[in-house]
């Protein structure tokens, strides 16, 4: 049977429609089509691919400038490789076909198809993660966004309180979670101005603490808050203070919603993550709780063929150093192109591991003694532990402190 001529597909993605181009291995344009962004358009695209030889055994590779959305979901059914091309990279390729630098949707679709035709090995297809891993990724990223949004609101509340209500800062900033605590939000909602806070009775403070869910030490905490809130502080004119009180109430309501969203998403993350087959291995690592482990899984996925080796995973995470050499100049530094969510989780993981693992703590201290800054030592520790995670996931083993940090091979690797 004669082998089918290779065909490559490029799709220029837009909000309401998409331009499609198919080329053969010589760059000859086989077909072009504009499809709508709906189920009928997706089916038309699949029919066009099938018309030009797309099968389950020999799927046509597709290049597109996004890795998400319903169109990508329709394309990734089955075994078809889909390549998410960075728009900046696609713009550089465009200069090879046109010197005018004018953007054209049909022309961009052709450029994307030719990217696969000429440089397919230089690009990686979207990972073939399981549906459960994708669900964990959606929830973990949403929970991470909710935590960041909550912290932004806390910062806004803190900044506002510094302007007119320092007693509230003295009352809550020394506590765990600070202004995000339910008690802090309840008291600020009850008394959004210093004048109203000074008039609160012990019974009113106790009622606010109970509404926040506190069950123990209510009387003592109410007395402490009453003493702090009645302290001697500088004050603004009453009209200005009342206006700022209204602003604070609005921020507290937003903070309440952000805290609730973060808590509900955290519960959903835990429910889905614990059902994943890799959960036991991830949770065996020191410093990884459910939420952090879910964030790591969300970014690395469960497609074992995604990374060729541990070094590829380290480069993707941004923990491995990068070397630039030109002539007599040589520079070794940190990576700026990386998965920002994964490196953010990695720093938290490395920091938490210092208390949970004697080996991790010794590794961190050894790096500090060699002259690393705190962040450099943390990054190096994360680099080592994510390499260990790669090994455990591929071998199906749980984390072993003795083999991870005290074996001769590990010591040699640390000294390298």
The per-residue pLDDT for 405 is 83
Rg (Cα) of the chain, in Å, rounded? 28
The per-residue pLDDT for 414 is 46
The residues pairing with 330 across neighbouring beta strands, listed in sequence order, are 325
308 DSSP assignment:
S
Distance of CA 318 to the CA centre of its chain: 13
Q: Please list, in sequence order, all residues whose beta carbon lies within 8 angstroms of the beta carbon of residue 224, skipping any fewer than 6 positions away.
A: 171
The per-residue pLDDT for 412 is 41
The per-residue pLDDT for 101 is 61
Residues 330 and 154: their CA atoms lie apart, in Å, by 43
- CA 212, 260, 356, 368 torsion: positive or negative? negative
Q: Please list, in sequence order, all residues whose beta carbon lies within 8 angstroms of the beta carbon of residue 90, skipping any fewer than 6 positions away.
A: 65, 108, 111, 112, 115
The per-residue pLDDT for 100 is 61
The residues pairing with 323 across neighbouring beta strands, listed in sequence order, are 332
Question: Would you give per-residue pLDDT tens digits along the chain (416 residues)?
Answer: 345 678 999 999 888 889 999 999 888 999 999 999 899 999 999 999 999 988 888 899 999 988 888 889 888 887 889 999 988 888 888 877 666 666 677 788 999 999 999 988 888 899 989 999 999 999 999 999 999 999 999 999 999 999 999 999 999 988 888 899 999 999 999 999 999 999 999 999 999 999 999 999 999 999 999 999 999 998 999 999 999 999 999 999 999 999 999 999 999 999 999 999 999 999 999 999 999 999 999 999 999 999 999 999 999 998 888 777 777 777 677 777 788 999 999 999 999 999 999 999 999 999 999 999 999 999 999 999 999 999 999 999 999 988 888 754 444 444 44
Laid out side by side, the sheet with 82-84 consists of 29-36, 17-24, 7-12, 62-64, 82-84
The per-residue pLDDT for 298 is 95
Both tokens of residue 158? 């803190």
Residues 171 and 191: their CA atoms lie apart, in Å, by 13
Q: 330, exposed or middle or buried, with CB in 10 Å at 0-12, 13-18, 19+? A: exposed
Residues 148 and 146: their CA atoms lie apart, in Å, by 5
pTM of the shown model: 0.85
The per-residue pLDDT for 411 is 47
- HSE, side-chain direction, 13 A CA sphere, residue 179: 28
State how far the alpha carbon of 111 is from the alpha carbons of 33, 60, 91, 97, 368, in Å: 14, 16, 9, 8, 49
């Amino acid at each position: 049977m004669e082998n089918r001529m290779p065909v490559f597909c490029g799709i220029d993605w837009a909000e309401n429609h998409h331009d499609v181009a198919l080329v053969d291995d010589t760059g000859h344009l086989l077909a072009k089509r504009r499809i709508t962004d709906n189920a009928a358009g997706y089916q038309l695209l699949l029919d066009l691919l099938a018309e030009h030889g797309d099968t389950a055994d020999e799927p046509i590779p597709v290049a597109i400038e996004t890795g998400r959305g319903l169109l990508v979901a329709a394309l990734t059914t089955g075994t078809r490789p889909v390549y998410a091309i960075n728009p900046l990279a696609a713009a550089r390729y465009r200069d090879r076909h046109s010197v005018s630098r004018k953007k054209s949707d049909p022309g961009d679709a052709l450029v994307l198809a030719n990217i696969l035709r000429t440089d397919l090995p230089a690009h990686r297809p979207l990972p073939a993660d399981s549906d459960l891993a994708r669900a964990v990724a959606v929830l973990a990223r949403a929970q991470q966004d909710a935590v960041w949004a909550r912290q932004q609101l806390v910062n806004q509340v803190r900044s506002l309180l510094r302007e007119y209500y320092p007693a509230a800062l003295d009352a809550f900033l020394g506590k765990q979670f600070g202004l995000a605590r339910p008690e802090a939000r309840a008291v600020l909602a009850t008394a959004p101005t210093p004048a109203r806070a000074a008039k609160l009775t012990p019974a009113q403070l106790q009622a606010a603490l109970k509404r926040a869910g506190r069950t123990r030490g209510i009387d003592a905490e109410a007395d402490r808050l009453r003493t702090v809130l009645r302290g001697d502080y500088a004050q603004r004119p009453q009209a200005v203070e009342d206006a700022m009180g209204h602003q604070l109430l609005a921020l507290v309501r937003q903070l309440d919603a952000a805290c609730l969203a973060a808590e509900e998403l955290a519960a959903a993350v835990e429910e889905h993550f614990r059902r994943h087959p890799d959960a036991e291995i991830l949770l065996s690592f020191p410093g990884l709780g459910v939420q952090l482990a879910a964030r790591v899984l969300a970014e690395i996925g469960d497609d074992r063929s995604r990374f060729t080796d541990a070094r590829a995973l380290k480069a993707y995470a941004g923990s491995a150093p990068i070397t630039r050499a030109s002539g007599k100049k040589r520079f070794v530094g940190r990576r700026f192109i990386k998965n920002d969510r994964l490196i953010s989780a990695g720093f938290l993981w490395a920091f938490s591991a210092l208390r949970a693992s004697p080996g991790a703590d010794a590794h961190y201290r050894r790096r500090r003694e060699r002259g690393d800054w705190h962040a450099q030592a943390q990054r190096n520790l994360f680099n080592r532990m994510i390499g260990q995670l790669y090994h455990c996931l591929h071998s199906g083993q749980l984390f072993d402190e003795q083999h991870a940090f005290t074996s001769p091979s590990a010591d040699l690797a640390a000294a390298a």
